[in-house]
Each structure stands twice: as structure tokens, then as C-alpha cells.
């Protein structure tokens, strides 16, 4: 686009990929995110100092912080994203439910206001039917959920739900939703400009997750037929219109066994999994975001879009599958990314990179496109087998396990897939007994990387790497 990007960096990111490879980078403080990436005023002064016109918040950190967005708006800079007003509105889950139900978007049966008393909660729960969930109005993304199975346990759980909501979000408002059993998590990408044009870019299936952390996403979803897709996407566009949304956003839905769908929440940012949507639509979402922020119109009309082929994304985390998926830190002593037609790697590491304890353990996003789902699965599995990240443990073995699983291949899975199936198949034994071959591979890797042995015993830490050398 001819735009010169400037990044910001913390102490820990002095030699990080983004710090080195952006045209310019401004230091904003200490390693802890509370001393740098979460410091609103430092980011705004960095932008001014660099002579930037606009701020792209990425995902995480301040990307959905309405106060930050308002500060950007008031500073005269442009925020590449929605208005603080839309973000604030969608930040309150009760307000969002109220707005959605007024706009004809289906919501999960439950209350649209905070619960005031145990009596009220019991009455509502009786109307809805057990089991129910208490959810924090200021919560979201898996935080502040409490299941209630029957009336006897309701009072105690309400009290703890309120207490935890107060502690986590500074707001003790909780509301009730009926628990949807074995649902799928399906979201719709929406986008709109400042001229009132709205579009959706179809759905993403995000049910493959562990402890609210998504690991595999795909588009289209095998579960969504044409009629459901038409209803789901039109509900998503209504949701975006209802809050006067501008720029890229995502409407999350729960979809039950009978394909009933319910609005869950809106993510008022670009999401990690946006590449799968870019693959199947051919639209560059970040480019579109920047154009929109600059006041331009959407570069396409809804009827120009169609789902082309099938895309899958795998998130690669520095986590140890043999040790309860605890974050794994260290220096990457060897790194080689897969490549080929229809393969994309979005990553922020290289040989020599330090993976610290300070930030999210996501190292890379591998995504693939093929004409159909079968081809896409085959391609991304091969790509994972040809992805070498040595020096820290990664979840690559778990990802390959998912791609080989019959439930994943048949498309018949829900949000409980990993928890249910992974217990039956633990990788602990394999990964904790590396054997001789690891030493040989490690030596080869070090040779190739011309780097000293790192602090993690110099072992290749991913047993799938063995497959390539066997």
C-alpha cells in the first residue's frame, strides 16, 4: 500500500522479529505488558513521535479497550478498527444481548439484565430450565462462566459468580443463559465502511479448542448447509448494523445439534484466525481495514464474494504436550518453515529468537488452502510435519493428532472434542522418552543453524521431526 509501518517494542522484544523487520520501531517500556504494550499514553506518544497517522492494534493487548480507542480518537490519530462507542456497547454482554434481541438476532434463552437476587435467579432458571450458566456481563472469551445444575446449588454459585466477576472485571453484574449442550463454536466475519456498506465474509468453524484456546480453525464449516449459512450470515450483518459497526469484526455464535444458532458475543477486532477467511474469499482483511480507516469504501460488494475451496489454520504454541501444555520458553536454536503452493505462515520468530515468559505463547499460524477439505487437511498435515521449531517444545504433535483424528476428518466434532478424545490418547510417553535419534537430529540442526546448544539440553523437542529423518 506504500505505507511505512512503525512498530513499538518492550525491553523483552529488543531483538524481536517485529522490532527488527519493521522500517522503524519505538521503545515503549519494560518487559511486563503492564509496563509497555498496555500503556495507552506511551503508544500514543510513540505514534506521534514517529509521525504516524493511524494505529493498528492487532489482536490482544489494547485492541478491544474502549478507553484506549477513545484516547486515540481524541488525540487526532486514526484508530484502525471500530469506534470506541461500538466497542463499549459490545463490551457489556447484557447490553449486547438486549440490542441483539431487539434487532432480530437470536440469543441464547436467558436474561438480558443483571441478576439482582437469589429469588429472581431461581424464577428465571425455572422458566429457562436447568442446567443454566451464570455469565459475567463484563466477561467474555471463556472468563466468568459458572454452570448450575439444579436449584439447590444456585445460591452458592451465584454468590461465587458475582465475587469472581467483581475480582476479574471490576463489575459484579452476572446474568443467566441456558446451557447449550455439545455446541459448535462458529463465527462470522463482518466488515463495513464509513459509508454504510456492510458485508460478511462467511463463517469460520472454531470448535477445536482447549481451555478456551483455539488451535484449529477452518472455513467453510462442514456443519453449515446453504440455508443455515444464509440465515447465520444475515444475522451477523444485522448484529453489526445494530451497533453502528465500522471496520472488521466477528460475530460469535453457538450452534446446537439441530443447527439452531445463538449470538454469543461480538469480537470488535481482527481475529487471529482471519487468514482462513482471506484464503477462501481472496480479500486481504488488513488492507481492507486500513482502506476503511482512511475513509475509503469497501473494495468489493457482497455479491462478488463466494466461498472458494477450503482453508485450515493451525496455531502453533510454545507449549509442552508432555507437561500439561505449560508454556515452554527458551531460544529457538533451529527453525524451518514449510512452504509450497497454498501454504501460508504468519509468524514472529526465527532461528535465534528468544521465547520469553512475558507474552502469549503463540509462535506462529500455519494456514493452508486447497480446493476441498480433504486436500486442505492433507496439505496442512504435511506442512506441520515439515515445520521444524527446535529449542522450545511446541504443540505441533497435538495438531497432527487432531488432523489424523476420525472425528475431525468426518467433520463431526463439537467444542468438547479435544477434552473428550485427548484423554484417551496421551502423548506423554512418547514425548518424555526422546531416545538416541533426538541427539543426532539435534546435532544436525545445530550444524545447520550454526548456533550453540541452548539451555534446553539441545534436544529436538518435537517427536514429529523424527518422521522426516526416519
185 binds ligand MV4 (CB under 6 A): yes
Tell me how far, at minimum, the Cβ of 132 lies from ligand MV4, in Å.
Answer: 8
108 binds ligand MV4 (CB under 6 A): yes
C-alpha cell read off for 171 = 463489575
141 binds ligand MV4 (CB under 6 A): yes
Binder of ligand MV4 out of 30, 104, 129, 142 (CB under 6 A): 142
Give whole-number Cα distances, 375 to 187, 278, 302, 309, 381, in Å.
23, 18, 27, 10, 10
Binding mask 255-294 for ligand MV4 (x = CB under 6 A): ---------xx-----------------------------
For residue 186, with 0-12 CB atoms within 10 Å meaning exposed, 13-18 middle and 19 or more buried, which class applies? buried
Residue 185's contacts (CB-CB under 8 Å, 6 or more residues apart) are 205, 206, 207, 209, 252, 253, 254, 255, 264, 415
Tell me how far, at minimum, the Cβ of 183 lies from ligand MV4, in Å.
Answer: 6
Query: Between 177 and 203, whose beta carbon lies closer to ligand MV4?
Result: 177
3-state secondary structure 184-242: EEEEEEEEECCCCCEEEEEEEEEEEEECCEEEEEEECCCCCCHHHHHHHHHHHHHHHHH
Query: Between 31 and 260, whose beta carbon lies closer to ligand MV4?
Result: 260
The one segment of 121-129, 174-182, 421-429, 437-445 that binds ligand MV4 by CB under 6 A = 174-182
Per DSSP bridges, beta strands 174-178 and 6-10 are unpaired
The distance in angstroms from the start CA to the end CA of the chain is: 45
Query: Between 378 and 407, whose beta carbon lies closer to ligand MV4?
Result: 407
Residue 8, SS3 per DSSP: strand
The one segment of 94-102, 133-141, 230-238, 353-361 that binds ligand MV4 by CB under 6 A = 133-141
Query: Between 204 and 379, whose beta carbon lies closer to ligand MV4?
Result: 204
The footprint of ligand MV4 on this chain (CB under 6 A) covers a number of residues equal to 18
Neighbours of 347 (CB within 10 A): 17
For residue 144, the 8-state DSSP code is: E
Query: Between 184 and 381, whose beta carbon lies closer to ligand MV4?
Result: 184
212 binds ligand MV4 (CB under 6 A): yes
180 binds ligand MV4 (CB under 6 A): yes
Can you tell me the distance from the alpha carbon of 172 to that of 194, in angstroms, rounded to the nearest whole number? 35
Which residues are marked as active site? 269
**By the criterion CB under 6 A, which residues form the site for ligand MV4?**
108, 133, 140-142, 145, 177-180, 183, 185, 209, 212, 254, 264-265, 415
Amino acid at each position: 500500500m506504500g505505507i511505512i509501518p512503525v512498530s513499538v517494542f518492550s525491553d523483552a522484544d529488543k531483538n524481536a522479529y517485529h522490532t527488527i523487520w519493521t522500517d522503524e520501531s519505538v521503545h515503549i517500556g519494560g518487559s511486563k505488558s503492564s509496563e509497555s504494550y498496555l500503556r495507552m499514553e506511551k503508544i500514543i506518544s510513540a505514534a506521534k513521535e514517529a509521525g504516524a497517522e493511524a494505529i493498528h492494534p492487532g489482536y490482544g493487548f489494547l485492541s478491544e479497550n474502549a478507553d484506549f480507542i477513545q484516547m486515540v480518537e481524541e488525540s487526532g490519530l486514526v484508530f484502525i478498527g471500530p469506534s470506541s462507542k461500538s466497542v463499549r456497547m459490545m463490551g457489556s454482554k447484557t447490553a449486547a444481548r438486549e440490542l441483539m434481541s431487539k434487532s432480530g438476532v437470536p440469543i441464547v434463552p436467558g436474561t438480558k439484565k443483571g441478576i439482582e437476587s437469589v429469588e429472581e435467579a431461581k424464577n428465571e432458571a425455572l422458566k429457562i430450565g436447568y442446567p443454566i450458566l451464570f455469565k459475567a456481563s463484563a466477561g467474555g472469551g471463556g472468563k466468568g462462566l459458572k454452570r448450575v445444575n439444579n436449584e439447590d446449588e444456585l445460591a452458592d454459585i451465584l454468590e461465587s459468580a458475582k465475587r469472581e466477576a467483581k475480582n476479574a472485571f471490576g463489575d459484579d453484574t452476572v446474568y443467566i443463559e441456558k446451557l447449550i449442550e455439545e455446541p459448535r463454536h462458529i463465527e462470522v466475519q463482518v466488515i463495513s465502511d464509513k459509508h454504510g456498506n456492510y458485508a460478511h465474509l462467511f463463517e469460520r468453524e472454531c470448535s477445536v479448542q482447549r481451555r478456551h484456546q483455539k488451535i484449529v480453525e477452518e472455513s467453510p464449516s462442514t456443519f453449515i448447509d446453504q440455508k443455515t449459512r444464509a440465515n447465520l450470515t444475515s444475522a451477523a450483518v444485522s448484529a453489526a448494523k445494530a451497533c453502528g459497526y465500522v471496520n472488521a469484526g466477528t460475530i460469535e455464535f453457538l450452534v446446537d445439534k439441530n443447527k439452531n444458532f445463538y449470538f454469543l458475543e461480538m469480537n470488535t477486532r481482527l481475529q487471529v484466525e482471519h487468514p482462513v477467511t482471506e484464503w477462501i474469499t481472496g480479500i486481504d482483511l488488513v488492507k481492507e481495514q486500513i482502506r476503511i480507516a482512511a475513509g475509503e469504501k469497501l473494495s468489493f460488494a457482497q455479491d462478488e464474494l463466494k466461498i472458494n475451496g477450503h482453508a485450515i489454520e493451525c496455531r502453533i504454541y510454545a507449549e509442552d504436550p508432555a507437561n500439561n501444555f505449560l508454556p515452554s520458553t527458551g531460544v529457538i536454536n533451529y527453525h524451518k518453515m514449510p512452504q509450497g503452493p497454498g501454504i501460508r505462515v504468519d509468524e514472529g520468530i526465527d532461528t535465534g529468537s528468544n521465547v520469553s515468559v512475558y507474552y502469549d505463547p503463540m509462535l506462529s499460524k500455519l494456514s493452508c488452502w486447497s480446493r476441498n477439505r480433504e486436500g486442505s487437511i492433507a496439505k496442512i498435515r504435511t506442512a506441520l510435519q515439515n515445520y521444524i521449531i527446535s529449542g522450545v517444545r511446541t504443540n505441533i504433535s497435538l495438531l497432527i493428532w487432531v488432523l489424523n483424528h476420525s472425528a475431525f476428518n468426518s467433520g463431526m466434532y463439537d467444542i468438547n472434542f479435544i477434552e473428550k478424545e485427548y484423554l484417551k490418547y496421551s502423548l506423554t510417553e512418547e514425548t518424555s522418552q526422546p531416545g538416541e535419534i533426538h541427539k543426532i537430529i539435534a546435532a544436525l540442526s545445530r550444524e545447520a543453524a550454526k548456533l550453540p546448544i541452548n539451555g534446553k539440553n539441545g534436544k529436538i523437542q518435537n517427536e514429529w521431526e523424527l518422521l522426516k529423518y526416519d
